Structure 1
């Protein structure tokens, strides 16, 4: 049996530590995501879902608890090792695409691969293949400003998958789109995830979209509960 894509155990996180107004955002979070499983994280704004995603994605560290990515315990790992795992094993998608405006769609997908040591011809081939999967290969040479909101987010999806990660973390990936475009883009995202066998933790306010995933969890008073 393969290791879980992500395992969180006893994760706690507080802000303003030591002060009377300390905010306990996460209070002993436990979560396991199996290989190939797509999990919806449902929580209102301010509940701590972004904090949880940042800890899962090694962008932040918990006050206590353990984070395992693909079976590797990341506790106490060097910044260099955490960066390597984050760059190669984890893909990130945000509500706003955060594409680099001075680069084309293709280049935005190529750049993270170059940073990971992939040769440019191979990186460009993979970028074109990913753009074809999401149906916008004809827009490869356009900069973000020339793309629609849905197209920009599709490029962001491709960038997140550029280095073939095993785990995808998404924070309101369709939250900045109108309902019709949101549905279309979500379908594209799920097709990408299923086609590549990715595991995913996707935060969303949209209960209809959440219901299409394998499992739903809710962040409530700093702890996770099944929906």
Structure 2
């Protein structure tokens, strides 16, 4: 059995370089090692442009490293074909971004139901799970409202529910409260923690907010292309 079989996410020696048309290539990640256990919430802090988004995209199988290994749920994902990567990403990973990216023509409930239908979940079960998730974060009464009818905090809480709709093993969040005012950011973060703690999944959350980061289980810093304890 793999040494990382007990980890929701394990990154080993991840390197990523971009040319960007410059005379010299930019080495963004320089041998990143990182492991997150099920039920663990880890903050990732770094200045803008340090490579946080690149690291999250590689961890979530949206991008591939130049070197190194990506393991999800104990399985090496590094050399999978596109179809296998897509299926693994669909089944194992949930994503949350700074902007909610909800589909504007659908209700909040439908935005959470649709990923489940694509996964093969029967509609009734999908709606029941969507309502349960929304109730946990206090937006159940807004189920039939479209995104434009929701506040920024409500939109982001619905986005959290959508990310967890298919019961992933790993949640990746990139500045999930970055476009919210401090009070709303605090409430939305609490809602996210309720979902994460109640489902027992692992979470890697990139944030500039050191106050929020300090409330997570561990804080890591991306420094000169490597991950180190903050």
**Is the Cα contact below 8 Å between 1:93 and 1:170 reproduced in 2?**
yes
**Is the Cα contact below 8 Å between 2:5 and 2:75 reproduced in 1?**
no
Which segment is superposed worse, 207-216 or 80-89?
80-89
Does 2:213 align with 1:210?
yes
- Indicate which of 141, 164, 167 corresponds to 1:164: 167
Does 2:89 align with 1:73?
no
Does 2:202 align with 1:199?
yes
Report the number of matched residues. Answer: 227
Quote the offset at 1:19 in angstroms: 5.7
Q: Which residue of 2 aligns with 1:10?
A: 13
Q: Which residue of 1 aligns with 2:228?
A: 225
CA deviations 1:190-214 (Å, max 9, x no partner) are 1111111111000000001000000
Which segment is superposed worse, 76-85 or 163-172?
76-85
| Structure-2 separation of matches of 1:186 and 1:30 | 26
Q: 1:21-100 to 2 correspondence within 5 Å? A: 21-100=24-103
Which segment is superposed worse, 61-70 or 2-11?
2-11
Quote the offset at 1:18 in angstroms: 9.0
Q: Which residue of 1 aligns with 2:118?
A: 115
CA deviations 1:113-162 (Å, max 9, x no partner) are 11111111111111111111111111101000000000000000000000
What stretches of structure 1 of length at least 5 have no aligned partner?
none
Q: Which residue of 2 aligns with 1:184?
A: 187
| Structure-2 separation of matches of 1:88 and 1:76 | 17
| Structure-1 separation of matches of 2:188 and 2:142 | 16
Give the structure-1-normalised TM-score: 0.97
Partner secondary structure for residue 105 of structure 2: coil
**Is the Cα contact below 8 Å between 2:112 and 2:161 reproduced in 1?**
yes
CA deviations 1:58-95 (Å, max 9, x no partner) are 00000010000000100211111111111111110000
Give the structure-2-normalised TM-score: 0.96
Moved over 2 A (4+): 17-21
Quote the offset at 1:2 in angstroms: 5.9
